Structure formats: C-alpha cells, structure tokens
Amino acid sequence: VIKMADLDLTDKKVLIRQDLNVPLKSGVVADGTRILASLPTIKLALEKGAKVMVMSHLGRPTEGEYEHKYSLAPVANYLSALLDQPVRLEQNWLEPDFIPVERGEVVICENVRFNVGEKANDDALARRMAQMCDVYVMDAFGTAHRAQASTHGIAKYAPIACAGPLLAAELEALSKALDKPARPMVAIVGGSKVSTKLTVLESLSEKVDQLIVGGGIANTFIAAAGFNVGKSLYEEDLLDTCRRLTEDAKRRGADIPVPIDVVCGKHFAENAEAELKSVDKVADDDMIFDIGPKSAAQLAEILKNAGTIVWNGPLGVFEFSQFSEGTKEIAMAIAESNAFSIAGGGDTLAAVSKFKVCDDVSYISTGGGAFLEFLEGKKLPAVEILEQRAAQQS
C-alpha cells in the first residue's frame, strides 16, 4: 500500500479516516486511548503542511438522523486539548456551504454514520466524500474490517488513497506476529464463549505451538476433557469441536493445555467466596471463575520460553479481585517474557491497563473486531482496497 508518511502533503486537502469510537461518560471522553493513538498521524499531516480533515464514526446511531449522544463534539474537545489548538467540528462537511479548511487547521467531520449510505457503502456517498480531498488517508485499523463508505468506497474514488501511520504500524506488528513468528509461538484466547471465537481458535491452532484457552472458553475444553464443570458457563454443543481442536493440535505437535486447578464460586458476584480446587474436584453447584496458581505457574513457564505471544481475552473474571489472579499472572508473565508480544480486544486492554503492563507488551492493538478478524486470517476490506489502489497507482 501507499503510505502517508511517504507523500508530499503541502497545501493538500487531506481527509483522514480514524477510529475515534471511544467510550463517553456524561458527555466527556472516558478513555482516550484511541484518540491518543491517532494523534501522531494528525500531527504528521500538520507538519507536512496539510489542510487536515478527520472523520470517524462513534457508536451505532440511526442512519439519517442527528443524535446528540453520538456527536463527535467531545472527541473534538479532547483532540483540541491534546493539539493545543482549536478543532472545528463540521456538521455539514459534505454540503456545498462547507467552509474550506486552511493549512495548519484541523477539522473534525461529524459522525460518518449519521449519513445515509455510510454502512451500506453507498457509491454516491463515497464519491461525495472523495470529492472533499486531494488525499484520502485510511488510518482506522479498528474499523478496517468494515466495508463502509468512509473506510472502503471512498478509497476507490479519492485522487490518492493511502495508509496512515497507525494502520501501517498495526499491520506491521500483526504480520510480524502471525506471518513470520519467532518460535515457539503461543496464543492466549480467553473470553466467555467458544462459539464467538471459534474461527479465531481454528485459525490460531494451525499456526501456534501452544494454544492457551481461558475463561468460559476453557470451561468448555475442561468439560470436553471429561471433567465436571458444575454450573460453570460452558457450551455443551461445542464439546466435540473442542475435542477435535485438541486432537488436531496434538497431531501437529501443538498443545491446548487444560487447567489443573481452578478457582470456583457459588454465584457470580463481587463478594462471592472463592474456593481453590483441583480440576477433578469441581462440585455440581460450583462455577469456575479463574484458573488456579498451579495452572498459572504452568502457563507462565510456557510464556517464559515463547518467541511470540498473541493475547486476546482474559483468563477469568478479572474484574473481581478474588478471581483476578490467573489473568494477572499471565499478564505479568507476558510482561516479563522476551517474546514479541501483541495484545488486543476491549477486555484484554482493560486487563493490560489494570495490571499495569502497557509498557511491557510489545504492541497493543487499537482493534477489537478488526483484531479478531485479522487473527482469523481474514483479509480486511479497507486494507484490500488500498492494496488494489496502490497496484493501479504504481
């Protein structure tokens, strides 16, 4: 793909698609991680003398309607403070009365999903967006799995379509971990359900030397191995699938270890009493909420020797302190390992931040769904179209 960093942007109208879909609380930005990650791209465009327009979606508003709670106004304020300069929020940026952007100025275009046709990747809308710029920069890795007007259609019609620094960095880090991994490669896939991560599990189990499963996903593997999981969250209809995954992995010389000890509770609550048990001693009224210290130590040993680590999903209910040790131990083991490590997904990032290992993970992805689709081995449509354009432009 063509990279923004390689282009001359002097006096160019540069329209940057970013993923500024951040959580808000009482009308202010509650977590600015994605805005911070996008900041170097905006600064670089300014340094290069561009007239900067930034567009993003926020949430999932009803198409064709302006909904105040989905306005990018709080994001514009946040960005303005970071840049230490005014950031104009443009409601009608696709209308003829739009006041052109000056060099050095930053304008935020109001939520792209207010436009009819954004989600459907409408051709007319994509053309209209493309007409607004000399250069289109796709930098929204977190939305690169969506083929929408602002992430895909526009790239067909903009005079120049390129990848921004954040998108380029994400792709480079993920490709390094998945395409040319230093061995042994270990993936940790946690979270509540096998069904929502089945394709990720299938795809990763073919690549890795060890696949560590956690959370509700591990419960289904524990049950598949023949142990009682009591009242734990697990998916009965996927027991055979888990057995098949385990056997296939073994045949390839890989392993999907089942926890040897677990931390149980009798109900899902912040004050639930935690009881450590051997995995073969889980009672009918138990719910498994975490892995035990023996399992954590075993997994930490695996991670210590890893060359590459890919982490998506917590190992237990880490929001409650009595069930957080397993996820914490794994986070610490990743932090201490010399492996090239990559973490992504909302819950994973919450864990990374809770256990203060942000600086010790080699790369933290801004993607949720996009990160998972990359792990599944899927082509991201917003990246594919940039590749096609690059082939045409060269």
The residue count for the chain = 394
Q: How far apart are CA 48 and CA 42, in angstroms?
A: 10
Question: Binding ligand 3PG by CB under 6 A: which of 143, 150, 210, 295?
Answer: 143
Burial class (CB in 10 A: 0-12, 13-18, 19+), 285: exposed
Measure Cα distances from 358 to 185, 334, 362 in Å: 21, 11, 9
Q: Is 20 annotated as a binding residue?
A: yes
Residue with tokens 């524990």: 222
Tell me whether residue 281 is one of the annotated catalytic residues: no
In contact, 288 and 266? CB cutoff 8 Å: no
Tell me whether residue 369 is one of the annotated catalytic residues: yes
CB of 34 to ligand 3PG, least distance (A): 8
**Is residue 32 part of the contact set for ligand 3PG (CB under 6 A)?**
no
- State the maximum Cα–Cα separation within the chain, in Å, rounded to a whole number: 71
Between strands 87-90 and 106-109, the pairing is parallel
Catalytic residue among 117, 346, 354, 377: 346
Q: Is 128 annotated as a binding residue?
A: no
Question: Binding ligand 3PG by CB under 6 A: which of 146, 152, 197, 389?
Answer: 146
Q: Pick the closer one to ligand 3PG by CB: 166 or 306.
A: 166
CB of 21 to ligand 3PG, least distance (A): 4
CB of 216 to ligand 3PG, least distance (A): 21
User: DSSP letters of 285-319?
Assistant: T-EEEEE-HHHHHHHHHHHHT-SEEEEES-SS-TT
CB of 89 to ligand 3PG, least distance (A): 19
Q: How far apart are CA 9 and CA 110, in angstroms?
A: 23
Tell me whether residue 34 is one of the annotated catalytic residues: yes
**Is residue 347 part of the contact set for ligand 3PG (CB under 6 A)?**
no
Stretch near ligand 3PG under the rule CB under 6 A, chosen from 45-53, 139-147, 282-290, 329-337: 139-147
Structure tokens at 75: 């994001």
Structure tokens at 123: 């051709």
Q: Pick the closer one to ligand 3PG by CB: 21 or 71.
A: 21
Q: Is 326 annotated as a binding residue?
A: no
CB of 275 to ligand 3PG, least distance (A): 36
Catalytic residue among 49, 117, 369, 377: 369
Count of residues touching ligand 3PG (by CB under 6 A): 8
Q: Is 34 annotated as a binding residue?
A: yes
**Within 13 Å of residue 90, how many CA atoms lie on the same side as its CB?**
22
Tell me whether residue 193 is one of the annotated catalytic residues: yes
Q: Pick the closer one to ligand 3PG by CB: 33 or 203.
A: 33
**Is residue 60 part of the contact set for ligand 3PG (CB under 6 A)?**
yes
**Within 13 Å of residue 387, how many CA atoms lie on the same side as its CB?**
9
Q: How many CB atoms lie within 10 A of CB 132?
A: 19
**Is residue 118 part of the contact set for ligand 3PG (CB under 6 A)?**
no
The single-letter code of the amino acid at 203 is S
CB of 240 to ligand 3PG, least distance (A): 31
**Is residue 21 part of the contact set for ligand 3PG (CB under 6 A)?**
yes
Q: How far apart are the first and last CA of the chain?
A: 10
Q: What x/- string results for residues 350 through 379 when contact with ligand 3PG is judged by CB under 6 A? A: ------------------xx----------
Q: How far apart are CA 266 and CA 11, in angstroms?
A: 64
Q: How many CB atoms lie within 10 A of CB 40?
A: 14
Stretch near ligand 3PG under the rule CB under 6 A, chosen from 87-95, 138-146, 185-193, 325-333: 138-146
Catalytic residue among 13, 17, 34, 128: 34
Binding-site annotation: residue ranges: 19-21, 34, 57-60, 113, 146, 197, 319, 345-348
Catalytic machinery residues: 34, 193, 346, 369
| Residues at the contact surface with ligand 3PG, assessed by CB under 6 A | 19, 21, 60, 142-143, 146, 368-369
